Amino acid sequence: MARSSPHKPQAARRAVLEIGEIGAQGDGVALLDGEPVFVPLTAPGDRAVVDIRGDRGTLVETLDESPHRAPPPCPHYGVCGGCALQHVNADFYRDWKRERVVEALRRAGVEAPVEELTATPAASRRRATFTARQAKDGAIIGFKQRRTRDVAPVEACLVLHPTLQAALPKLRAFARAFPANAFRLSVTLCDNGFDIDIGGDVEEPRGADLERLGKALEAAGGLRFSLHGEALLTLRVPLVDFDGMQATPPPGGFLQASREGEAALLALVREATRGARRIADLFCGCGAFALPLAREATVFAADADKSAIAALAAAAAHAQAAGVAINPVRTEARDLFVRPLSAQELNRFDAVIFDPPRAGAAAQAEALAKSPVPAVAAVSCNPATFARDAAILIAGGYRLVRVTPVDQFVYSPHIELAAAFVKG
C-alpha cells in the first residue's frame, strides 16, 4: 500500500469566521473550536470565508466588512509581504499601535501612562532590504510575497523615502550587474548618496565583475558597496548627520529607520535626561543620541559593535577638531549582554540611556536597578522585552513616568517607543 509523503501539503479546511481582533503580528484573529486562527488582511468585525491550515488562515472572501476597514493605498498590498496594516482606517491603526504597548506593560504587571502615538510620515524609510533575482529582461528587486519565497517586484513603495523611491530603476541596474542569481540588496540613504550592502549565499566579485559593479555603483548614486558588511568599493565616504555632526556608519551598520523617527526619539530622550551633566549611552550604535547629547553633557558610549564605536569616536573627534562646541565623548566596545555596566560603574552618571536590540537589556536593567542613577531613558523596538526590563527597574525603586509610542515603521506591526524613569 502506498504511503503519503510526509511533505505533502496539509489539506485546507474552509470555514466562515468572525474576526475578533488583530494580533501582535498584524494578522486578524478568529476562534475556531476554541483555538485561534490567524488570518492576514482581515480586521475586527469582518465575517469571512477562510481556508485554514493548522492555525493559519487565508482570506477567500469577505462576507461582511468591518467598520474599521479602509481601502489600502498601495497597489502591491496583499501580495507584497512588507506591510500588514494598510487595510484599516487611521483611527483604528493609531489606537492598535498604542494598545500594543499598553498590553505589553499590562502583561508584565506594569502600570504607567502611555501617551498617544507619535506619527511619522509614511514615505520616510531610509533603509530597505530588497530581495533581488536575475531575470531575462533585467533584475527584479522587491520584497518577499506574503507567505511564499517568491519576490513581489516593487515599482513603487509608499514607505520609502522619495529619494530612495526615485532611485529604484538605478538600483535594479546595479543589481543586474552583480554576478549572482539571487541575493539580498540592502540600501541605506545617507546624506550624500546610497550605501549598498549585498548578502546571501554569494561569492565575492573580482576582476571584471568588480569593475562592472563599480561603474554600476556610480551610475546608481552609490557611495560604497560592501559584501556581508565588508567594504569592497568606496567611491565616496557615506555621511549621516547627527545634530550637525557627521558620522560614517559602518557597512550594514544600524541606523534608525527614518530621520523623522530618530528626531522624535531624540527629543524624548533629551527630555528624559534634561539637566544631566554625565550621561551613559548604552547600545549606542554610531551616535544618534550620544553625539547630540554631547552638546550639553559629557557622554560615555558603549556598544558591542566595534565598527559602530569606531565611527562614533571618529565623528566626535572630527566635530571637536572642527570647533563644534561639544563635551568629551568617551567610547568603549563592550558586549553589554555579557558584561553590563555594574551598579558601581553606573554611580558616576546622572542619567543613563539604553536602546538595545529586540532581545532587550535584562542584564543591564538588573544592574541599573541596583544603582542610584537618578534618570533613565529607555528606547525599544519590542514592547514585550521593554515591559520585562521596565518591571526590573521598577522592582529596584524606579518609577516609570512616561511611555511614548513612536510609529516609524509605518503600516507594519512594529512599534518603537521611548520611556522615562526616575529613581524614587
DSSP-derived pairing of the beta strands 13-22 and 47-53? antiparallel
Beta strands in 40-191 (DSSP E): 47-53, 56-64, 118-119, 127-135, 138-144, 151-153, 182-190
Catalytic residue check, 284: no
Q: What is the dihedral of CA 167, 169, 173, 176, to 10 degrees?
A: 120
Determine the 3-state secondary structure of 97 from DSSP.
helix
Residues pairing with 230 in the sheet: 227
Q: CA-CA distance, 138 to 218, in Å (whole number)?
A: 18
Distance CA 126, CA 361 (A): 26
Which of helix, strand or coil describes residue 397? Answer: coil
**Position of cell 553590563?**
340
Cell of 322: 572642527
Q: Is 176 in contact with 220 (CB distance < 8 Å)? A: no
Say if CB 209 and CB 179 are below 8 A apart: yes
Distance CA(118)–CA(115), nearest Å, equals 8
Q: Is the dihedral of CA 266, 241, 248, 412 positive or negative?
A: positive
- For residues 98 and 105, the answer to whether their CB atoms sit within 8 Å is no
Residue with cell 482570506: 59
Name the catalytic one among 157, 190, 286, 381.
Answer: 381
Q: Are 68 and 89 in contact (CB under 8 A)?
A: yes
Residues 15-34 as b or e (16 or more Cβ within 10 Å = b): bebbbeebeeebbbbbebee
- Alpha-carbon 203 to chain mean position: 28
The b/e string for 263-301 (b: 16+ C-beta within 10 A; e otherwise) is bbbbebbbebbeebeebbbbbbbbbbbbbbbbbbbbbbb
Burial class (CB in 10 A: 0-12, 13-18, 19+), 189: buried
Which grid coordinates belong to 343? 551598579
Q: How far is the C-alpha of 271 from the C-alpha of 419, rounded, in Å?
A: 10
Catalytic positions, written as ranges: 381
